Amino acid sequence: MSQTPPSRRPVLRALMAGAALSTLSLSTLSLAARAAKRRVIVHEEEIDPDRYRNNPQTQAFIGMLVAEHNFDRAALDALFAGTAYSATVARLILPPPTPARRSWTAYRGRFIEPVRIGAGVAFWQQYGDTLRRAEAEFGVPADVVVGILGVETIYGRDMGNFRVMDALTTLAFDYPDTPNREERSTMFRNQLKDFLLWCRDTGTDAFSVLGSYAGAVGIPQFMPTSIREYALDYDRDGRIDLRNSAVDAIGSVAHFLQMHGWEPNRPVMWNIAGDADSQGIAAAAADGQPYPRMTLSRLTRAGLALAPGVEAAREQETDVLVVDLPTPGQPTEYRVGLRNFYVLTRYNRSFFYAAAVYELGQAVRQAMQG
């Protein structure tokens, strides 16, 4: 997820800061004491108290947190002494040795399928009032929120069971040797910083938070920076809980999309006609970039036609992009994406992802309508 619009912080942050710092200090010291038997197994990983506590890079990171964010050094030393290097995380973050060719048909089949659609219907039926409230407040349709939560975790069924502290620390300081190692390490250090700030500001035990191997948390799989920037206490119980509160997850996803420029009551994407001229123009215009930067009229003047039934007569000066969805051995599928398609790529920078979210949401809506 990107991090551009202004943040919305918890209302009680300022009041809780001092108490939360004490909570962090006590909890981490207690956990470190239990880990100080030299080596402790956490799931399949091994804690070496000296691996991060005495790591020069970690110590520099701790120094930055102390100097810039008023953390307690002893509490952080204890926290990192109890943090495990995760070989599993380091392995999973790597691309496959032989990258598979991108297949929209295979990707789509993973998400637009009966189990997810049925789970989406049940979720929509259970949380319909909240979805309507979020749409009224943020302008994001229920089917889009349902599509995201279905693709991300099947509505909370698969949220990950890695300790986020272990995952982020491993990726921040022991990222595998790849060409983009420095860039990725820097990104994960920023996520680790925001994770620790969030834990302190909310009084959360850093070792209690579970998530994906990349450190994403909860039903919507928010990274820590996005939690601090966009997550909401949408059920108004006094705390943000993206793992156990579907209501918080719904409000947070809708808020994220709104803050990234979602346009209410506007399309996401259109199908393109299947004739050779339209497909040829689409192939020439598809440059892989997610930004809408050509008008629809430019494409239609060149000979591109939209699929029958698409109403776009008033959209000729709307900025659009051409979305390519390739499958090996088959003709590439093309769509016209609008501003809201681009906003979906701010959640995950993948055309496949954004198209699957949209199509899953549409499939669930159709199933709801019988």
Lowest mean pLDDT among 90-94, 96-100, 145-149: 96-100
pLDDT tens per residue, range 229-280: 999 999 999 999 999 999 999 999 999 999 999 999 999 999 999 999 999 9
User: Smallest Cα–Cα separation from 321: which of 343, 339, 348, 303?
Assistant: 339
Q: What pLDDT, on a 0 to 100 scale, did the predictor assign at position 46? A: 65
**Contact of 220 with 242, CB cutoff 8 Å:** yes
Token reading at 271: 């199908």
Q: Which domains does the chain have, with CATH numbers?
A: 13-94+160-216 (1.10.8.350)
The answer to whether the CB of 31 falls within 8 A of the CB of 223 is no
Chain segment 324-334, per-residue pLDDT in tens: 999 999 999 99
User: Residue 16 — very low, low, confident or very high, per pLDDT cuts 50/70/90?
Assistant: very low
Higher pLDDT, 29 or 15: 29
Q: Please report the pLDDT score of residue 223 as a whole number.
A: 99
Condensed to tens digits (0 to 9), the pLDDT of residues 201-229 reads: 999 999 999 999 999 999 999 999 999 99
State the average pLDDT for the chain.
Answer: 90
How does pLDDT run across 341-360, given as a tens digit for each residue?
999 999 999 999 999 999 99
The pLDDT tens digits of the residues spanning 244-254 come to 999 999 999 99
pLDDT-based confidence at 100, cuts 50/70/90? Answer: confident
Supply the pLDDT for residue 58: 97
Please state, for a pLDDT cut of 70, what percent of the chain lies above it. 88
Q: Which amino acid is at 211?
A: G
Residue of 152, 229, 315, 333 marked active site: 152
Pairwise pLDDT comparison (350 vs 5), residue with the higher score:
350
Instruction: Count CA atoms closer than 13 A to 115's CA, side-chain side.
Output: 8
Average pLDDT over residues 146-163: 98
pLDDT digits (tens, 9 = 90+) for 37-91: 444 555 556 677 789 988 999 999 999 999 999 999 999 999 999 999 999 999 9
Range with the poorest average pLDDT among 95-104, 112-121, 339-348: 95-104
Q: What are the b/e assignments for 71-95, b being 16+ CB within 10 Å?
A: bbeebbbbbbbbbbbbeebbeebee
Give the range among 15-24, 50-59, 299-308 with minimum mean pLDDT.
15-24
The pLDDT value recorded for residue 349 is 95
Average pLDDT over residues 16-20: 40
Question: Does residue 183 carry a catalytic annotation?
Answer: no
Distance of CA 246 to the CA centre of its chain: 16
pLDDT at 1: 55
Per-residue confidence (pLDDT) for residue 50, from 0 to 100: 81
DSSP string, 123-141: HHHHSHHHHHHHHHHH---
Please identify which residue in the block is written with the tokens 């349902």. Answer: 146
d(CA 228, CA 244): 17
